[in-house]
Structure 1
Amino acid sequence: MFDHITTFTAPPCALDDLRAYLSDHRDALLDSAALLGDQPGVRLAQSVLDGFDTPGTPTRRTMRALDDLLDLLMLENVHDPDRIEAARFAMIDPANPIVEEVCLLADDLDDMLEAYRAVKNGGAATFVHEVAA
């Protein structure tokens, strides 16, 4: 009489942790995205933040945008002269303290995303938060 449909969602704890991280680091994510990606980077970061502000499991589009944001923060495409991050990255002084902050932000976001995906896929994950001294 009743259909039993099992739908898996990541345990709320992992998703809540990722949401909390994004919320707590909202300004830093937007600033870093602007630094490395100009207006397209800001739109990307805002899309991710808006997607995680929506209740429920993040959509595939939001998760793809999060992967793209992480690629931006991890400097995955700075070698491609046709991409805006190549020019933006070339203008940054490596001695600028913002460089370390962006690196820590990217590493922490990567760890949070990895932990979320591990729990979502049935594994255990831990996250160690590093703070710049």
Structure 2
Amino acid sequence: MFDFTPPSEQTGLAPSDAFDELRGFVEEHREGLFAAAELLGATPGLRLAQAALDGVVAPQSPTRRTMRALADLLDLLMLEHVHDPSRIEAARFARIDPASPVVEEICLLADGLETALASYWQATPANASLAEGRAA
């Protein structure tokens, strides 16, 4: 009836290991994430990336606000809102040449961030609502 399996047994990662993986990804790709966020979201995108990434490198566990910012950054990188002409992403995305090498770099950053976030969300039940909200 009730599943009492600890999250670390479901994912193979303890919450701290999953957070270390997320932190490692962010630290390794920090400049690329900033550049991609600014390219796709202009100044608001850059501010979003700064809030998200600063929250991850803080010494404590990430706050709910940081996790929301990371989810929003992932949406930006995954081009979730480029179809909405009222959002800045639509105009910024329209200016990018599909053959540009930056497109592949953004895709790789988005995939890496998605993988790191998914591992963390699976290992940390408190963040399950953010993951579920994103999947909806």
TM-score (norm 1): 0.82
**Higher helix residue share:** 2
Alpha-carbon RMSD across the aligned residues, in angstroms, is 1.3
Counterpart amino acid of 2:82? V
Counterpart amino acid of 2:116? M
Structure whose CA Rg is larger: 1
Matched residue, 2:42: 38
User: Which SS does the other structure have where 1:51 is aligned?
Assistant: helix
Once the 2 structures are TM-superposed, how far is the Cα of residue 75 of structure 1 from its aligned partner? 0.2
Matched residue, 1:111: 115
Once the 2 structures are TM-superposed, how far is the Cα of residue 34 of structure 1 from its aligned partner? 0.7
TM-score (norm 2): 0.80
Query: Identical aligned pairs, as a percentage?
Result: 61
- Asked whether 1:13 is paired with 2:17, we answer yes
State how far apart, in whole Å, the 2-side matches of 1:11 and 1:72 are.
25
Once the 2 structures are TM-superposed, how far is the Cα of residue 11 of structure 1 from its aligned partner? 2.4
State how far apart, in whole Å, the 2-side matches of 1:12 and 1:67 are.
19
Matched residue, 2:4: none
- Asked whether 1:57 is paired with 2:68, we answer no
Match of 1:23 among 8, 23, 27: 27
Aligned residues: 113
Runs ≥4 residues deviating over 2 A: none
State how far apart, in whole Å, the 2-side matches of 1:97 and 1:48 are.
25
Specify every segment of 5 or more residues in structure 1 that has no aligned partner in the other structure, as ranges. Answer: 1-7, 122-133
Question: Which digits, 9 at most, give the CA deviation of each residue in 1:43-81, with x for residues without a partner?
Answer: 000001111121121111110000100000000000000
